[in-house]
Structures are given as structure tokens and as C-alpha cells.
């Protein structure tokens, strides 16, 4: 839906809305660059999706301040108005110690809940001390929400008005926060959107803290997942682990007298803005000369991926598929180049560091196997770029490969489809992403099946231009029908009915 329409519909539903969004990751990071302070937009699906919503609803966003200059730019209430130059919402920063980040973020969230939820055969590293820290940090986020609620009440002089205070928690970092907020005031409306998959009950059952996690989540009034399958897995876990009363007719769980609705809300992007922005980008313009130099070997077909360097993203499998593709179809040697964009992430976790090293050495091996004097097939360019640069590459690529072993949604797939305003590209998409449910006109792959993956690369490149255009147009219409404003409106209006 159009931004304008979103604002009208929200006004119809809620007379006044006070939205408090809470996430680990902040939308904008302030860093020192010498003596100057620079602000950078955070990468990652959560912040990209939520930012346009906060701009429109003028709410407060509570998040961990991780930038070196984050403390230097906030007021006495830890707040800063964003975005720079078009101030519309407040970011309220919360600060964590090194020990807290190690135990809560690297430890419990990303070494337990992350591998457990994705089921990519990476064993979670259970550690009760990290869980304690995770609990305490969730309490800290809850306290920051409560402080905000108190200050809203003080500004209203304790008068009840028709304002809806809505607390919207984001993601697996904050599975326990609702419990602590409800302990302060049971009547507060709280919801969480879980941005990653929810595993099947057999996998979830190995988690030592499974009951506490489920109980924490069931303190919310509404829980959103991307797809129905994740909702079903969650409901089954509630039956198995808590013997809670599950109502499969309305997808709700009643536990200790409190009812929680569990529904799918497939997340998306600000599709119209990206389409319009991309339409105005001319890839032949001189402003892209520096980016053109990123791809030194000459090529006829560019394959592109944009991923955080993460073992769930199937980057190794993709490199293996490219190797096999060149072996099976040698006519592409010297003509095909694969460019991997993205950023290293969570590098303090050994599994991530090892994965990063493996990708580098696999790239080296494959390049050595095929290279000639002025051509090699794989380029890793792992630096953060702005949206315009990503769109330049999307528009230049013959195919974009999105091949996670498991992913809640994956917004790169949607971003590429909306950027393909010349209809010259094609999407190769893992069946194990939430976005494959909507984008079934992509060339769908099982990234574990390397042989079929290699064949699909060829198939996608060789699709007739007319078919590419038809498929991309169909997918663009699907994305436009459920963009980020639909997502937020559907979620918030569901919460209003509870």
C-alpha cells in the first residue's frame, strides 16, 4: 500500500498511537572517523524493514547503542531524533557492557537461538551463564520500555486519553522482555515479531531453557512469524513443552490464563520507493565508475549475491555450485563472473570466523582452478555499500543468487526484484527462504543439491528475455501487494483487535 494510504488507515484504526519499537540492532550507528562523527545506516532485514514504519508513525525506537560515538550525540534521556535532516522518530539508546554483549548477543542469542532456529546442522552452544546474562539484558530492555511508558504518562499528567501505547518487540534477542514488562503493568499491549525461523518441536526440545523461552514469549499478546509453518512449529512446541491450551482454529495459545495470538506476517520492503529509485538509476552514468572497477575481469554474464557472511546463508554451497557449473559447462569459462557482496558479521563467534576463512580459501581454490591471464570467476567484495550501489549491481547482473540453507524471509530477494526495472535479470532463490513462498516465479533451488544448483544457474542465465520479463513483472506485483506498509498495518491492526 502507498505510504499515504498507510497513514490514513492507521489514523482510522488508532486515534493516536504511541509506538515503542524495541530491537537489539539500532537503525543508525554513530562512529568517530578521526575527530569527526559520521552516521551509518545499519544493514540487516530488521532495521531496513522497520525504519520506514518509524518514520511514518513518529514513535520511539529503543535499541542497543553499539557505535563508538553513539553516546556523544544523545540527550540526557539517551535519545536522538532521526533520520538526520528529516527528524521524525526518536531513537533511545541503551548501553551494554562487554560482558553483557558476549553473554547475551554473541553467546545466547547468536550461539544458541540462532543455530537452533535455523536448523543448518550447526550445534547450539548451550551455556547457563550466558542465559543468565541474556535474561538480565532482556530485563534491561524491559526497564527502558517501562521508563518510556512512565515518561509518556507523566507528560499526560496521568490523564487517560485515547492514545494506544503499543510496545513492539523485535526478534530473538528479546524473547523474555514481555514477561518483565507485564510484571510492571499487565494491561500494556505487547507484541513481538520473530524475524528468523521457528524450528520444529523435535529440534526445539533440546534447548535446556525451552520452558523459560516459551513462557517469556507467551507474555506477549501477539507473536508474528513470517510464514504459517513457523507458527505451526511454535504452537506444537507450546503443546509439547508446556501442555498449554492451543486453539488451532484461531492460532492462539492460552497459558496461565493469558491468551496469545500467533499469526504469520510476511515481512517486506518499501517496494514502491525502491522501484522508483531504481528507475532513475542509469548504470552507464559516470558516477558508477568506481563500482565498475570492483569487477576487474571482463565478463558477459554477471552473477551476484548480497549476504551477511553467515553459515545459514549457503555461501559455501553456492561456491561449490559455481565450481560445478564451470566444470559441467566450460563454454562459460571466461564469460561468467560471480560477485559476492556483503559484510562480515558476528566475527567474535568462532563459527563465523571459521566460515569466513573457509569462504576465502574456497574462493582462492576455485579461482586458481579456472583462472587465466585476465580472467577469474569469483570476486569477494565485502564492504558495506549504500542502497544506490547495491541497485547499480542488481541492475547490472544477469542473475542474482539468494541461496540460504534456511532463512526467515530474506529481503535481498525482494529488493533485487523491485530494482530490476529493466527486466534484464533473473532470481535464483532457495526454497528454504520465507520469500520463496511469495516469489515462486524465481528459479527455485535446493542449495544442498549442488548438481541441481549448478544446472539452475545455467537455466536462469539462459531464460528467454520475454520469460524473464514475465516472471519479474509477476513477482514485482506480488511484492507490491504486500509491502512493508501492508506488513506493519496488518500486524498493528491485528494487535488492536486483541
Total number of residues that touch ligand F6P (CB under 6 A): 10
Closest CA to 141 of 172, 117, 163: 172
Distance CA 383, CA 344 (A): 8
CA separation for the pair 226, 195 (Å, rounded): 7
Alpha-carbon dihedral 242, 248, 249, 250, rounded to 10 degrees: 50
Residues 247-276 that bind ligand F6P (CB under 6 A): none
Residue whose CB is less far from ligand F6P, 341 or 398: 341
Binding status of residue 414 toward ligand F6P by CB under 6 A: no
Q: Which is nearer to ligand F6P, 44 or 83 (CB)?
A: 44
Please report how close the Cβ of residue 134 comes to ligand F6P at its closest, in angstroms. Answer: 14
Residue where the block lists cell 533485487: 416
> Segment contacting ligand F6P (CB under 6 A): 41-49, 227-235, 316-324, 482-490?
41-49
Does the footprint of ligand F6P cover residue 46 (CB under 6 A)? Answer: yes
Per residue, the 3-state secondary structure of 407-459, as one string, reads ECCCHHHHHHHHHCCCCCCEEEEECCECHHHHCCCCEEECCCCHHHHHHHHHH
Residue with cell 517496494: 271
**Residue 297 within binding range of ligand F6P, rule CB under 6 A:** no
Stretch that binds ligand F6P, among 42-50, 224-232, 247-255, 450-458 (CB under 6 A): 42-50
Q: Applying CB under 6 A, which of residues 171, 323, 455, 483 lies at the interface with ligand F6P?
A: 171
What residues numbered 345-364 form the site for ligand F6P, per CB under 6 A? 345-346
Tell me how far, at minimum, the Cβ of 406 lies from ligand F6P, in Å: 11
The residues, ordered by sequence, that sit 6+ positions from 373 with a Cβ below 8 Å of its Cβ are: none
Q: Considering all CA atoms of the chain, what is the largest pairwise distance in Å, rounded to the nearest integer?
A: 76
Cα 368 to Cα 419: distance, rounded to the nearest angstrom: 33
Q: Looking at the chain, how many residues does it have?
A: 498
Q: What is the x/- site pattern for ligand F6P, positions 193-232, by CB under 6 A?
A: --xx------------------------------------
Q: How far is the CB of 241 from ligand F6P (least distance, A)?
A: 23
CB of 46 to ligand F6P, least distance (A): 3
Burial of 279 (0-12, 13-18, 19+ CB in 10 A): exposed
- Choices 43-51, 119-127, 207-215, 425-433; region in contact with ligand F6P by CB under 6 A: 43-51
DSSP codes of every residue in 243-278:
--EEETTTTEEEETTEEEEEEE------HHHHHHHH
Question: In this structure, what C-alpha cell is assigned to residue 181?
Answer: 514488562
- Residue 200 φ/ψ, nearest 5 degrees: -70, 160
Our CB check for ligand F6P shows the closer of 111 and 421 to be: 111
Which region among 4-12, 44-52, 266-274, 321-329 touches ligand F6P (by CB under 6 A)?
Answer: 44-52
Does 25 bind ligand F6P (CB under 6 A)? Our answer is yes
Candidates 38-46, 67-75, 222-230, 320-328; binding stretch for ligand F6P (CB under 6 A): 38-46
Cα 313 from Cα 307, distance rounded (Å): 7
Q: How far is the CB of 425 from ligand F6P (least distance, A)?
A: 23
Site string for ligand F6P, 367-406 (x = CB under 6 A): ----------------------------------------
Q: Which residue has the cell 521457528?
A: 198
45 interacts with ligand F6P by CB under 6 A: yes
**By C-beta, is 69 or 343 nearer to ligand F6P?**
343
Q: What does DSSP say about strands 28-33 and 36-41: parallel, antiparallel, or unpaired?
A: antiparallel
Task: List residues bridging with 222 in a β-sheet.
Answer: 191, 261
Cβ distance to ligand F6P smaller for residue 179 or 346: 346
CB of 408 to ligand F6P, least distance (A): 6
Q: How far is the CB of 221 from ligand F6P (least distance, A)?
A: 21
Q: Does 62 sit near ligand F6P (CB under 6 A)?
A: no
- The three cell numbers of residue 5 are 494510504
Of all residues in this chain, which one has the CB nearest to ligand F6P in the complex?
44
Asked if 102 touches ligand F6P (CB under 6 A), the answer is no
Q: Which is nearer to ligand F6P, 347 or 498 (CB)?
A: 347
Question: Which residue bears the cell 499515504?
Answer: 4
Shortest distance in whole angstroms from residue 195 CB to ligand F6P: 4
CA distance 312 to 36: 36
Q: Which is nearer to ligand F6P, 46 or 74 (CB)?
A: 46
Distance of closest approach, residue 53 Cβ to ligand F6P, in angstroms: 14
By CB under 6 A, residue 44 contacts ligand F6P = yes
CA distance 181 to 188: 8
Q: What is the DSSP string of 386-406?
A: -HHHHHHHHHH-SEEEE--SS
Phi then psi for 181, rounded to 5 degrees?
-70, -40
Under the rule (CB under 6 A), what is the footprint of ligand F6P? 25, 44-46, 171, 195-196, 345-346, 408
Amino acid at each position: 500500500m502507498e505510504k499515504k494510504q498507510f497513514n490514513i488507515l492507521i489514523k482510522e484504526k488508532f486515534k493516536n498511537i504511541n509506538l515503542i519499537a524495541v530491537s537489539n540492532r539500532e537503525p543508525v550507528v554513530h562512529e568517530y572517523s578521526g575527530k569527526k562523527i559520521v552516521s551509518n545506516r545499519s544493514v540487516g532485514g530488521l532495521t531496513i524493514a522497520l525504519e520506514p514504519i518509524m518514520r511514518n508513525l513518529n514513535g520511539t525506537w529503543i535499541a542497543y547503542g553499539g557505535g563508538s560515538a553513539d553516546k556523544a550525540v544523545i540527550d540526557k534521556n539517551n535519545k536522538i531524533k532521526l533520520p538526520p535532516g528529516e527528524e521524525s522518530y526518536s531513537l533511545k539508546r541503551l548501553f551494554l557492557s562487554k560482558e553483557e554483549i558476549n553473554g547475551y548477543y554473541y553467546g545466547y542469542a547468536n550461539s544458541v537461538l540462532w543455530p537452533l532456529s535455523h536448523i543448518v546442522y550447526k550445534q547450539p552452544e548451550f551455556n547457563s551463564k550466558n542465559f543468565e546474562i541474556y535474561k538480565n539484558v532482556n530485563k534491561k530492555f524491559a526497564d527502558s520500555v517501562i521508563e518510556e511508558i512512565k515518561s509518556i504518562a507523566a507528560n499526560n499528567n496521568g490523564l487517560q486519553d485515547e492514545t494506544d501505547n503499543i510496545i513492539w518487540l523485535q526478534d530473538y534477542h528479546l524473547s523474555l522482555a514481555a514477561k518483565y514488562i507485564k510484571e510492571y503493568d499487565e494491561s500494556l499491549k505487547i507484541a513481538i515479531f520473530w524475524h528468523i525461523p521457528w524450528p520444529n518441536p523435535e529440534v526445539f526440545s533440546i534447548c535446556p531453557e525451552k520452558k523459560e523461552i516459551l513462557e517469556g514469549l507467551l507474555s506477549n499478546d501477539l507473536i508474528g512469524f513470517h510464514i504459517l509453518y513457523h507458527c505451526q512449529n511454535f504452537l506444537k512446541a507450546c503443546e509439547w513443552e508446556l501442555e498449554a491450551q492451543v486453539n488451532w482454529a484461531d492460532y492462539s495459545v492460552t497459558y496461565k490464563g493469558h491468551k496469545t495470538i500467533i499469526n504469520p506476517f510476511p515481512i517486506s520492503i518499501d517496494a514502491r520507493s525502491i522501484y522508483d529509485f531504481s528507475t532513475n538509476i542509469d548504470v552507464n552514468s559516470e558516477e558508477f565508475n568506481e563500482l565498475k572497477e570492483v569487477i576487474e575481469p571482463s565478463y558477459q554474464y554477471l552473477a551476484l549475491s548480497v549476504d551477511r557472511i553467515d553459515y545459514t546463508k549457503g555461501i559455501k554451497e553456492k561456491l561449490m555450485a559455481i565450481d560445478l557449473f564451470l566444470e559441467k559447462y566450460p563454454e562459460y569459462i571466461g564469460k561468467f563472473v560471480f560477485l559476492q557482496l556483503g559484510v562480515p558479521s558476528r566475527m567474535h563467534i568462532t563459527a563465523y570466523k571459521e566460515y569466513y576463512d573457509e569462504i576465502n580459501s574456497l574462493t582462492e581454490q576455485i579461482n586458481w582452478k579456472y583462472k587465466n591471464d585476465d580472467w577469474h570467476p569469483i570476486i569477494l567484495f565485502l564492504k558495506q555499500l549504500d542502497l544506490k550501489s547495491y541497485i547499480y549491481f542488481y541492475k547490472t547482473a544477469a542473475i542474482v543468487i539468494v541461496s540460504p540453507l534456511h532463512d526467515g524471509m530474506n529481503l535481498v530477494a525482494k529488493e533485487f526484484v523491485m530494482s530490476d526495472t529493466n527486466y534484464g535479470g533473473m532470481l535464483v532463490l532457495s526454497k528454504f527462504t520465507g520469500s520463496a513462498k511469495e516469489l515462486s516465479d524465481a528459479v527455485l533451488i535446493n542449495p544442498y543439491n549442488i548438481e541441481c544448483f549448478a544446472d539452475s544457474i545455467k537455466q536462469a542465465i539462459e531464460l528467454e528475455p520475454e520469460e524473464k520479463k514475465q516472471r519479474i513483472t509477476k513477482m514485482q506485483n506480488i511484492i507490491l501487494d504486500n509491502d512493508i506498509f501492508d506488513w506493519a498495518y496488518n500486524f498493528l491492526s491485528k494487535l488492536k483487535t486483541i
